Structure 1
Amino acid sequence: MKFFIDTANLEEIAEAKSWGCLAGVTTNPSLYAKTGGALADFEPHMQKIAELCKGLPVSAETTATTVDGMVADGRRLAALAPNIVIKLPICEAGLAACRILADGGIRVNMTLIFSATQALLAANAGARYISPFVGRYDDIALDGISQLADVITCIKNYDWSGKNPDGVVEIITASVRTANHVVQAALLGADIATVPMKALKKCLHHPLTDAGIAAFEADWERVANA
């Protein structure tokens, strides 16, 4: 399973990339707002992320609500860098815009997926990536992992050749809150997990590892000072 980082923070992206395991970036309007950036700086900021992650997919989300607006945003954002993927919400306008953009050779990440039927519609409309949410299900006391399992089974049942520019649909596990979400997604066969830096660090650290490193350092310090 590949790791994407879910952030618009350039420092977090650079740190994750330095670990050597980053395969992409996802952003959204809320994540960009957290950077404190202005509206006029949004597209230059997406260009900076795309340049920092050259060759890796970077999802930039439209804020339009109509088909024409989504298509116009998508074409403009896709023109910023060859690795930018257009992120669209699953809705009537989003599906129509997805089909138009995909037919024009632009890769789309369909987001806010909460059901297998939404995922199937998105894949048929030409989505290159599908982002089912896990954590937000858990927030309302439902099982996000079981919903993810349904999405994965349905999507992997079919050949998506000819539906999008690459003829492949990859599932991005989104709204990841814990390391266990990552583990369960990987066990189910999700292609990607997109995680905030906080969750990515949870995947890296383990109390026994941290204790072991501390013990090694303490023992070596005694050797060095003997």
Structure 2
Amino acid sequence: MEFIIDTVDLKDIKEMVEYLPIVGVTSNPSIVKATSPKDFFNHIKEIRNIIGRERSLHVQLISKDAETMVKEAHRILEEIDRDVYIKVPVSMEGLKAIKALKAEGIKVTATAVYTIMQAYLALEAGADYIAPYVNRIGNLDGDPMKLIRELQERIEKDNYNCKILAASFKNIQQVREAFANGAESITAAPDILKQVFKNPSIEKAVDDFNADWYSMYGEGKGILDI
């Protein structure tokens, strides 16, 4: 499993990397808008400084034609580093761009995936990650978990070197189901992942354990005090 966070908020990234087993950061223009950094490239460079080169960094293109997409990808790699995954929406032009980028050995995350055929085409074009939009597919009366299952079966059957990066979640249950249905990676907002710990039973269990300990050894006498 891979847990990736979908944000460019530096404070959130620092916190999540410190506390959770986070292996990467994803972004898109809407995510960037939520933070609105004045200097985009310096901001992304700071994210890289925080997460290091051992974690993945995914940055999305904004153009709609393949030629400009490729130019944008080159600019991103020049400004940040060659390890960045270029996020490319799976449109006709996007697929053309994915093929061109992979021919250069550039890492690609295929995004904005709503259908299994989009996913299959991105898979055959050479994408390293494919990001189906779980909640958005469901809102359109589709079955995102079926898509993930079918895609993972195809990846395994034909030995593609690609990972499913499930995205677009509204709750932690969807994250769990994505993993259960075959996604190897997920990207979610920090608030979604923090839902795991919004369970009063967790805090109560810790409080009960502490109460039992202090009842034996005295209030304020922890393991470091005996």
- Specify if TM > 0.5: yes
Match of 1:59 in 2: 58
CA distance in 2, matches of 1:221, 1:141: 54
The answer on whether the counterparts of 2:148 and 2:164 sit within 8 Å (CA) in structure 1 is no
Could you say if the C-alpha distance between residues 93 and 208 of structure 1 is closer, same or farther in structure 2, counting changes exceeding 3 Å? same
What one-letter code is carried by the residue in structure 2 that aligns with 1:138?
A: G
* Deviation string, structure 1 residues 58-95 (Cα, Å, up to 9, x no partner): 10001111111100011111221233110010101111
**Which structure 2 residue ranges, 5 or more long, are not aligned?**
222-226
CA distance in 2, matches of 1:29, 1:182: 22
Match of 1:165 in 2: none
Match of 1:192 in 2: 185
CA distance in 2, matches of 1:218, 1:35: 42
Q: How many pairs were matched up?
A: 217
- Structure 1 residue 147: deviation in Å? 2.5
**Which structure 1 residue ranges, 5 or more long, are not aligned?**
161-167
Aligned partner (choices 167, 172, 175) of residue 174 of structure 1: 167
What one-letter code is carried by the residue in structure 1 that aligns with 2:186?
A: A
Could you say if the C-alpha distance between residues 94 and 139 of structure 1 is closer, same or farther in structure 2, counting changes exceeding 3 Å? same
CA distance in 1, matches of 2:150, 2:77: 31
Which entry has the higher C-alpha Rg, 1 or 2? Answer: 2
Match of 1:136 in 2: 136
- Structure 1 residue 180: deviation in Å? 1.4
RMSD between aligned alpha carbons?
1.9
The answer on whether the counterparts of 1:5 and 1:197 sit within 8 Å (CA) in structure 2 is yes
- Structure 1 residue 110: deviation in Å? 0.5
Q: Percent identity?
A: 29
What one-letter code is carried by the residue in structure 2 that aligns with 1:64?
A: S
Does residue 76 (structure 1) correspond to residue 71 (structure 2)? The answer is: no
- Structure 1 residue 215: deviation in Å? 3.1
Aligned partner (choices 194, 199, 207) of residue 206 of structure 1: 199
Aligned partner (choices 201, 217, 224) of residue 219 of structure 2: 224
CA distance in 2, matches of 1:44, 1:225: 47
- Structure 1 residue 10: deviation in Å? 1.0
- Structure 1 residue 107: deviation in Å? 0.3
CA distance in 2, matches of 1:66, 1:96: 9
SS at structure 1 position matched to 2:13? helix
CA distance in 1, matches of 2:168, 2:149: 15
TM norm structure 1:
0.88
- Structure 1 residue 112: deviation in Å? 0.7
Match of 1:115 in 2: 115
- Structure 1 residue 148: deviation in Å? 2.2
SS at structure 2 position matched to 1:157? helix
What one-letter code is carried by the residue in structure 1 that aligns with 2:219?
A: A
Regions of 4+ moved over 6 Å: none
What one-letter code is carried by the residue in structure 1 that aligns with 2:62?
A: T
- Structure 1 residue 189: deviation in Å? 2.3
* Deviation string, structure 1 residues 152-209 (Cα, Å, up to 9, x no partner): 222332123xxxxxxx211101112222112212222211011110111113443321
- Structure 1 residue 221: deviation in Å? 6.4
